Every structure is written in C-alpha cells, then in structure tokens.
C-alpha cells in the first residue's frame, strides 16, 4: 500500500454531496471550494447537474477515470453499495463518515464493508469518522466544523485520531497556536485502514516529522513495535495519547467503542521498548507538538542543558525540580558566563543557574544576561520567565524576536514563559515569537515538560527484531530442550545407595521427594525434604521419609524417591510468554520466586524483541541490583539469562499451538555458570477448554 494518492489525490468525488452549505453533506464541497483544492472535484447526486462550480454526475459508475478518493456521505444502509461501486470504478481510496456500524451494534454491516475492501482492492477510512484534511493540497475531505473558521497551515505534524470530536478539538488548538499540519485523519471504526497502517505511511512520508496518535485501543497492535522501531531509525517522533489506561477508563472505553484496551503494564512496557512518547492529556500533547513546530525535530547530539532566567528565585527552584524529574539537566555555567553575569548583577545576587535577576536589572542588563546564558557552551535551551511586573513586553518584543533568530542560527533554542497565568504576552505577540522559532507556553512546568519530551525522540540506531523461522510442535519437555535451557538434574531412585550416588554426581544440596500417584500433597505426609546438605543428612532424610509416608499413607503405591539438584547462590527470575489480546505475543520478565508477587518487579516487551531491548528492560528492574551482585554477592550470569530469554521466546513464537510458556524461577547462577529453568510450564491451545478464547494467538 502506498498512501501518496490518498494524501495528494488528483481528483476527489463527493458521493451524496448537497448544495446546502448549512447541511453536513454540504460542507465538504464548500470547503474544497473555499480553500481551493487544486485537483478536480466531482459531486455525485442524481438531483443535480452541477453543484457550485463543480460538475455533478448521477451515479458513481458515471465518474470519469482518475478519481483517487471518494468521500462517501450517504447514510449507513447505503454505504456498502456505494463502496462497491467505487471499487468497480477503480477508485483506490474511500472515506465513509456514516455512523450506524459496529459502534451501534451493527457489526455485520461493518464486516460487509471490510469484505468489499478486500474483494475490490479499495482502501477505506471509517466509517463513523470525521474524514481527512491535508492542508498542503487543500484536501478537505471532512465535515469538521473547525474548517468554517480556518484551514490549519501546512506543516510537518501528522495527526491520527480514532475520536472525531477530540481530533476536531485538537484542530481548533492547532489553529489557535498556528501549528502546521501535514494531515489529520480521523479513523473512526477502522473497518479497513487503522491507526497503525496510516501511521506507517506517515512515518515513511518525507514531509512528516512527527506523528501524533489518539487511540482507545489498537485493532492490530502486533504491528506497533515494528512501526516504533522504524520511526526511531528515521528520527521521527510518535506521540501517543491513549485512553483506557485504568480499569475505570477501560470500562468507559468498552461502553464507548466496544474496544477493550489491553492491560496498562503491557502498554507501559511497549512504550518504553519502542521509545514512543506517551502523553496523558490533550494539553500535554499539544504542548509537545507546539515545541516540535517551534524548535524542529531534535538532532542526534543536540545539547540538552537548560539555562533559566527568572525574577523569582522561588520559581527558579520549582523549575529546577521539574527539570530534574523530567531528566533535563541544568548545568553549571562556564566561567565566562559567570564572570559576565557577575559584572551585571549586584554582588549579593547569585549568578548560578537558574539566574535570579530579581528586579535589580535594567532592561538592557536583562537582555545582556539572557545573551550571556544563551552563549554558554553547556546550554542548549534558554528559558526566560517573563512578568509584566518587571518587563515592558512591548519594548522587549523586538529583542525577543531577534534573540529567537540568533538562538536558531547557533543551533540553540529560546523558550519563553510567564511568572503568573494572568501575566501572558498577547496572542499576536506569542504567534510572532513562535514564528521566529521560540517556544512559548503559559507556565514554566509546561515548558520544561515539552522540552524534555521533545528530546526523548532523538533519532537512534535501532536494530530490527528478527522473526524466527517456524518449527515443529512438541510437548513441554521438548520446549525446554529446543530452547537449550538446562533444567535441574533429577532422578527417580529406588534405594538409598542409588540416591547417594546420584547426589554425589550433581553435588549437594539436593531435594528429596516421594513419587506416588496416590499422594497428591507430598508435604502433608512428610514426603518432601529440602536443602539436604551431605550424605549423612540424605540417609536420615531417606529413612524419615520412608517411615513417615508408610505411617501416614499406608496404602499408597510408592514408585520411588526423586532426588533433585538444588541450585544455590542463584538469582530468581520469572519469564513468561503469552498472547496479549491487543498486542499479540508478549514477554514478561521480572524478579521471580516469591518476589514476583510481593515486589511486583516485572517488565513487558512485545515479541519478537531484540537482544538490546531485553537487556535494557532487565537493567531497569530492581532485580538488576541483585544480578549485578548487591552486598558482596557474586555477579550473576546476566548474559546467559538474556540468551535463555531470547531462545525461550523464539521457541514460543515458532511452536504451533503454544499459547503460554512460563518459567518461574529461571535461576541465574554466578557469572560463567549459566542458568537453570526450575519450573517450566507450556500450555497448548489443545490443553484449553474448546469454547474459551483466552490467550488465543491472533
């Protein structure tokens, strides 16, 4: 699929267009007229010969060749036949805005559209959506009310939203802040094209720099991680606002769209793995997009140091806190900066970063302080906190514009905010500064958040994850064997001599367990002994167990006594592979044993995952300190653990019918001594009740 003809159609047909601009079905044509779409437009409506300056045909079949996009405005019951007609006419793309499909319980009606798309080789946006806008070509295939006001200016930010209303609200804000838009696509019910398919195309689009998504759940989440890796390689940010992060939100989401968002922990893991930039509110998303618009995409080695000039020392401290929490350093100034500031400020004032100029400086002095900080070699961004208390905004404006230009020319940035929410520059002044490349936001903490999040999308060298080749089926034991992960040595023995010989071979300590199908709860009859340290102890344990079992389960048939190697000095991990409903195969990795439950120290990754992704996930866990050798313990064989995790997940991905694979604990021995999988559990689809749809691969 190539969306270039969707984003830049030569010709658009509006099916069911109305000449009445006041009606919803009249708007798209009116917008195409008003904003001057450069291609050809056809209306389709049997009642008219022309609508405005556009020619009108009676039926889709009568459209000429070369129509790239059909905007279908007819109501739900008529969409299927219109889409089918578009397909017959070889139109490659269609948009349906009608509601009354899956969101209203009319699932079959939506499945029909999906089938037509497949059969006719036509790609559909919607139904139940608000349409699409591409300002660069004045492509206004939408009924969005915001276009009554203004078409956003062309730009590098692509916006894809499942919700039409939220998308429209973001469009309003794009206009208010004069943020440039590459395209807005509202995906609605996603009968065919979904958020990820569209994002893939926009990541590949040369004119797109950042792709912002509002999603309530991914239709085909397994494609998210490859998309994220590709975006990072290209240095394009993917910003995601995801609704349904909490149980309360998921309940609300199901009743809204019928989509069930996946578990929060899986989502958080994927955000980290893929380097996605997650925001938690519309304001936060908008602030970040404004920062992208004003400052451009971050360069790979762009300096991240923040220098701050404020008239309130108290606010300076708050900014330093916020920057620390967001991971933005505020470096000490270099000596030339310190000397320069010292000459400008009263001797009792501190010249550290943040600089508190209080009310002591003249306007010239203030300007000079700012210039000094911006020239400091450790500073990437200068943040000015303005207040009408101290600054004459009108007099400062020309200089601020010049400073913004100068910052941009030297590869640095200027950010501007205000002491108080009732202390802002006028809207036209803010737009002028944004136009000169300065970031202007209403509060210091919003500035700091947007600056930090923008830097999180630096381009990175990201290897692709290899999808392993398919393999043959097998049981739980062969799973461990194929993964090449050793299990503890064990043997069923029938005499103490046999047991002692085996224990000598594997080394003490060992565990001893009675083997009998008649004894389900071994511990209760004295049938388990752990930590047996030497031959004498083994002899005693053997004797005690024989007596205890005979006394308490006199009728049980004893098939022998299992002697098992006990691994000491090991760190316990938990490794689980399963199928997430939303994101497909996922890996859970964490601190194992009893700590899984108590410490809750686990991370999730989408599969296939790369070796660096697994290593990074492991590094961020608390158990990493134990693996590294906390409190004088030996460092563990972390490399062997990562190898085992990779091999286990590859076996999981390539074994047909395997729906879950768990190892808990995976014992990681001291460096050089490898790992042991103690309890390996493999669940096959055939093990599950037939009616269940839990954990089925998708």
Structure tokens at 527: 């049938």
Task: Give 32 or 130: the residue with its C-beta nearer to a second copy.
Answer: 130
Task: Give 443 or 578: the residue with its C-beta nearer to a second copy.
Answer: 443
Task: Give 204 or 254: the residue with its C-beta nearer to a second copy.
Answer: 254
Site pattern 359..398 for a second copy (x: CB under 8 A) = ----------------------------x-x---------
CA distance 404 to 371: 11
Span interacting with a second copy, options 111-119, 419-427, 608-616, 675-683, rule CB under 8 A: 419-427
Tracing tokens 């730009």 back to the chain, one arrives at 155
Task: Give 1 or 630: the residue with its C-beta nearer to a second copy.
Answer: 630
User: Taking a C-beta distance cutoff of 8 angstroms, is the pair 339, 371 a contact?
Assistant: no
By C-alpha distance, which of 588, 622, 625 is closest to 603? 588
Enumerate the H helices of 188-223 as residue ranges.
195-204
Span interacting with a second copy, options 112-120, 278-286, 400-408, 577-585, rule CB under 8 A: 278-286
Query: Please, which residues have CB within 8 angstroms of residue 276's CB and are 6 or more apart in sequence?
Result: 228, 238, 239, 240, 270
Structure tokens at 400: 């601020």
Task: Give 467 or 628: the residue with its C-beta nearer to a second copy.
Answer: 628
- Secondary-structure percent of the chain, ordered helix, strand, coil, rounded to 5: 40, 20, 40
Sign of CA dihedral 170, 176, 181, 184: positive
Q: Give the nearest distance from C-beta 76 to a second copy in angstroms.
A: 11
Q: Select the residue interacting with a second copy from 362, 597, 689, 693 (CB under 8 A).
A: 597
Q: Select the residue interacting with a second copy from 154, 226, 296, 329 (CB under 8 A).
A: 329
Q: Select the residue interacting with a second copy from 244, 298, 437, 590 (CB under 8 A).
A: 244
CA distance 212 to 666: 39
User: Taking a C-beta distance cutoff of 8 angstroms, is the pair 44, 63 a contact?
Assistant: yes
User: Taking a C-beta distance cutoff of 8 angstroms, is the pair 539, 501 a contact?
Assistant: no
104 binds a second copy (CB under 8 A): yes
Cβ burial of 409 (10 Å; 0-12, 13-18, 19+) is exposed
Give the three-class secondary structure for 673.
Answer: coil
CA distance 215 to 213: 6
**Site residues for a second copy, window 74-103 (CB under 8 A)?**
100, 103
Task: Give 168 or 649: the residue with its C-beta nearer to a second copy.
Answer: 168
145 binds a second copy (CB under 8 A): yes
Span interacting with a second copy, options 202-210, 229-237, 281-289, 512-520, rule CB under 8 A: 281-289
Strand boundaries in 371-435, DSSP class E: 381-386, 413-418
Q: Select the residue interacting with a second copy from 80, 252, 635, 685 (CB under 8 A).
A: 252
- CB hemisphere CA count around 160 (13 angstroms): 26
What is the rounded end-to-end Cα distance, in angstroms, of the chain? 22
Tracing tokens 């916006």 back to the chain, one arrives at 159
**Site residues for a second copy, window 515-574 (CB under 8 A)?**
536
Span interacting with a second copy, options 265-273, 336-344, 622-630, 651-659, rule CB under 8 A: 622-630
Q: Give the nearest distance from C-beta 318 to a second copy in angstroms.
A: 5
Could you give the C-alpha distances from 4 to 192, 201, 233, 659, 665, in angstroms and in order? 17, 8, 21, 39, 51
Q: Select the residue interacting with a second copy from 11, 157, 161, 201 (CB under 8 A).
A: 161
CA distance 564 to 561: 10
Q: Give the nearest distance from C-beta 537 to a second copy in angstroms.
A: 8
262 binds a second copy (CB under 8 A): no
Task: Give 245 or 673: the residue with its C-beta nearer to a second copy.
Answer: 245
Task: Give 140 or 664: the residue with its C-beta nearer to a second copy.
Answer: 664
The DSSP code for 24 is G
Span interacting with a second copy, options 14-22, 32-40, 252-260, 475-483, rule CB under 8 A: 252-260
CA distance 369 to 345: 9
User: Taking a C-beta distance cutoff of 8 angstroms, is the pair 527, 514 a contact?
Assistant: yes
Q: Give the nearest distance from C-beta 360 to a second copy in angstroms.
A: 10
158 binds a second copy (CB under 8 A): no
Task: Give 96 or 353: the residue with its C-beta nearer to a second copy.
Answer: 353
Q: Give the nearest distance from C-beta 171 to a second copy in angstroms.
A: 9
Structure tokens at 248: 């309360």
Task: Give 58 or 594: the residue with its C-beta nearer to a second copy.
Answer: 594
Site pattern 284..323 for a second copy (x: CB under 8 A) = --x------------------------xxxxxxxxxxxxx
Q: Select the residue interacting with a second copy from 136, 263, 271, 282 (CB under 8 A).
A: 282
Strand boundaries in 567-653, DSSP class E: 571-580, 584-591, 602-606
166 binds a second copy (CB under 8 A): yes
180 binds a second copy (CB under 8 A): no
Opening angle at CA 190, ends 147 and 453, nearest 5: 70
Q: Say if strands 413-418 and 355-356 run parallel, antiparallel, or are unpaired.
A: unpaired
Q: Give the nearest distance from C-beta 339 to a second copy in angstroms.
A: 17
Q: Give the nearest distance from C-beta 248 to a second copy in angstroms.
A: 4
Task: Give 1 or 165: the residue with its C-beta nearer to a second copy.
Answer: 165
**Site residues for a second copy, window 194-223 (CB under 8 A)?**
214, 216
Site pattern 444..463 for a second copy (x: CB under 8 A) = -x------------------
The DSSP code for 525 is G
Q: Select the residue interacting with a second copy from 1, 251, 343, 530 (CB under 8 A).
A: 251
115 binds a second copy (CB under 8 A): no
Task: Give 40 or 420: the residue with its C-beta nearer to a second copy.
Answer: 420
Task: Give 244 or 274: the residue with its C-beta nearer to a second copy.
Answer: 244
Task: Give 363 or 600: the residue with its C-beta nearer to a second copy.
Answer: 600
User: Taking a C-beta distance cutoff of 8 angstroms, is the pair 503, 562 a contact?
Assistant: no
Q: Give the nearest distance from C-beta 148 to a second copy in angstroms.
A: 10
CA distance 4 to 425: 40
11 binds a second copy (CB under 8 A): no
The H or E element that residue 56 is part of is: strand 54-57
Q: Give the nearest distance from C-beta 368 to a second copy in angstroms.
A: 20
**Site residues for a second copy, window 632-671 (CB under 8 A)?**
none
The H or E element that residue 148 is part of is: helix 146-149
424 binds a second copy (CB under 8 A): no
Task: Please provide residue 496's backbone torsions phi and psi, each rounded to the nearest 5 degrees.
Answer: -60, -35
Task: Please provide residue 471's backbone torsions phi and psi, each rounded to the nearest 5 degrees.
Answer: -150, 175
**Count of residues touching a second copy (by CB under 8 A):** 84
Q: Select the residue interacting with a second copy from 234, 334, 420, 491 (CB under 8 A).
A: 420
């Amino acid at each position: 699929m190539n969306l270039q003809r969707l984003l830049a159609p030569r010709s658009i047909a509006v099916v069911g267009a109305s000449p009445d601009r006041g009606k919803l079905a009249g708007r798209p044509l009116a917008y195409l007229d008003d904003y001057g779409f450069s291609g050809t437009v056809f209306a389709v409506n049997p009642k008219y010969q022309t609508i405005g300056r556009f020619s009108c045909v009676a039926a889709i079949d009568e459209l000429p060749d070369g129509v790239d996009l059909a905007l279908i405005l007819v109501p739900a019951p008529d969409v299927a036949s219109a889409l089918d007609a578009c397909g017959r006419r070889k139109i490659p793309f269609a948009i349906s805005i009608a509601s009354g499909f899956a969101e209203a319980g009319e699932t079959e009606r939506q499945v029909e559209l999906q089938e037509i798309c497949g059969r006719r080789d036509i790609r559909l946006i919607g139904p139940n959506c608000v349409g699409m806008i591409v300002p660069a070509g004045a492509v206004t295939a939408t009924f969005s009310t915001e276009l009554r006001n203004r078409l956003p200016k062309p730009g590098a930010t692509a916006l894809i939203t499942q919700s039409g209303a939220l998308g429209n609200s973001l469009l309003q804000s794009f206009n208010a802040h004069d943020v440039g838009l590459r395209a807005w696509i509202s995906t609605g019910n996603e009968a065919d094209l979904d958020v990820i398919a569209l994002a893939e195309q926009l990541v590949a689009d040369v004119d797109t720099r950042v792709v912002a998504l509002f999603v309530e759940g991914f239709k085909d989440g397994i494609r998210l991680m490859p998309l994220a890796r590709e975006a990072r390689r290209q240095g394009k940010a993917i910003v995601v606002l995801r609704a349904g992060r909490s149980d309360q939100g998921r309940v609300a989401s199901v009743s809204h769209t019928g989509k069930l968002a996946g578990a929060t922990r899986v989502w958080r893991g994927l955000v980290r793995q893929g380097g996605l930039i997650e925001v938690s509110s519309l304001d936060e998303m908008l602030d970040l997009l404004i920062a992208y618009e004003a400052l451009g995409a971050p360069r790979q080695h762009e300096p991240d140091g923040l220098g701050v000039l404020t008239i309130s020392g108290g606010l300076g401290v708050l900014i330093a806190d916020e920057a620390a929490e967001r991971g933005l350093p505020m470096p000490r100034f270099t000596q030339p900066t310190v000397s320069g500031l010292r000459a400008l400020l009263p001797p009792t004032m501190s010249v550290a970063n943040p600089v508190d100029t209080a009310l002591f400086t003249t306007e010239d002095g203030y300007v000079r302080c700012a210039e000094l900080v911006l020239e400091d070699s450790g500073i990437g961004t200068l943040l000015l906190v303005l207040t009408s208390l101290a600054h004459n905004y009108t007099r400062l404006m020309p200089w601020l514009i010049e400073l913004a230009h100068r910052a941009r020319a030297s590869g640095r940035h200027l950010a501007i905010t205000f002491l108080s929410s009732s202390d802002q520059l006028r809207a036209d002044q803010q737009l002028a500064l944004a136009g000169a490349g300065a970031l202007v936001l209403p509060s210091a903490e919003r500035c700091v958040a947007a600056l930090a999040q923008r830097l999180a999308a630096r381009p990175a060298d990201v290897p692709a994850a290899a999808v392993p080749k398919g393999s043959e089926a097998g049981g739980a034991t062969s799973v461990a064997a194929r993964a090449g992960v050793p299990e503890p040595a064990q043997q069923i023995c029938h005499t103490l001599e046999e047991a002692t010989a085996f224990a000598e071979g594997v080394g003490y300590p060992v565990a001893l367990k009675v083997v009998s199908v008649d004894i389900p709860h071994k511990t209760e009859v004295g049938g388990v002994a752990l930590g047996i340290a030497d031959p004498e102890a083994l002899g005693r344990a053997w004797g005690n167990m024989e007596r205890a079992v005979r006394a308490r389960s006199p009728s049980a048939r004893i098939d022998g006594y299992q002697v098992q190697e006990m691994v000491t000095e090991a760190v316990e991990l938990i490794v689980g592979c399963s199928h997430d409903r939303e994101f497909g195969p996922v890996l859970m990795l964490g601190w194992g044993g009893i700590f899984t439950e108590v410490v809750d120290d686990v991370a999730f990754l989408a599969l296939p995952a790369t070796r660096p992704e697994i290593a990074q996930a492991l590094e961020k866990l608390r158990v990493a300190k134990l693996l590294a050798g906390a409190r004088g313990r030996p460092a563990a064989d972390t490399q062997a653990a990562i190898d085992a995790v990779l091999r286990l997940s590859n076996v999981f991905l390539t074994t047909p019918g395997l729906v879950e694979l768990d190892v808990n604990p995976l014992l990681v021995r001291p460096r050089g001594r490898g790992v042991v999988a103690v309890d390996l559990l493999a669940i096959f689809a055939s093990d599950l009740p037939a009616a269940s749809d839990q954990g089925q691969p998708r």
